[in-house]
Copies of this chain bind each other. A is one copy, B any other.
Amino acid sequence: MLQKADLDAIDWKILRELQEDGRMTNVELSRRVGISAPPCLRRVRRLEETGIIRGYRALLNAPALGMDVVAFCLIGLKHQSETELKVFADLTRGWPIVRGAWMVSGESDFLLHCVASDLATFQSFVIEALTSTPNVDTVRTALTIRKVKDEGLVEIPA
């Protein structure tokens, strides 16, 4: 697998540009990173094939689409055996309100990033889905008031 060490300065520039604007044309990208289009496209393909670029996504405006509630849920389970963890992980994948989920260490076992159209829908989810799951012990929710920062996952050194 391609590793960090195999990337040169141009690769990092490519990653930075595509993380900021994933739809940039290859011509524009090549101009910005200082090489011609063909080798630039070859580098992008290599980054995609080796999995360093996992994919591309349009970022949607949740409120404009009628999704007024964004919240995080911290879930504590009663039993944390590998089997039980996997069961809950699979459950999260089946809940459309859950847009992102991580297994975490600390006071909780899972952290869920949730989006819902309104508070009633979110509360129903918490009560009917989360709380009702047998192995769920604690549910702490944090409703987001405003998004403060939202950048790509990886900091690209200048």
Verify A153–B51 contact, CB threshold 8 A.
no
Residues on the B chain within 8 Å of A66, using CB: 4
Which B residue's beta carbon lies closest to that of A146? B103
How many angstroms between the C-alpha atoms of A155 and B106 in the bound complex? 29
A65: CB under 8 A from chain B? yes
Partner among B20, B56, B61, B105 whose Cβ is within 8 Å of the Cβ of A54: B61
Chain B nearest CB: distance from A142 CB in Å? 4
Residues on the B chain within 8 Å of A64, using CB: 1-4, 50-52
Contact of A105 with B21 at beta-carbon distance under 8 Å, contacts A2-B64, A99-B151, A153-B60 already known:
no
Residues on the B chain within 8 Å of A9, using CB: none
How many angstroms between the C-alpha atoms of A102 and B149 in the bound complex? 7
A-to-B contact residues, CB < 8 Å: 1-4, 7, 15, 18-23, 50-62, 64-67, 70-72, 74, 89, 92-93, 96-108, 110-111, 115, 140-155
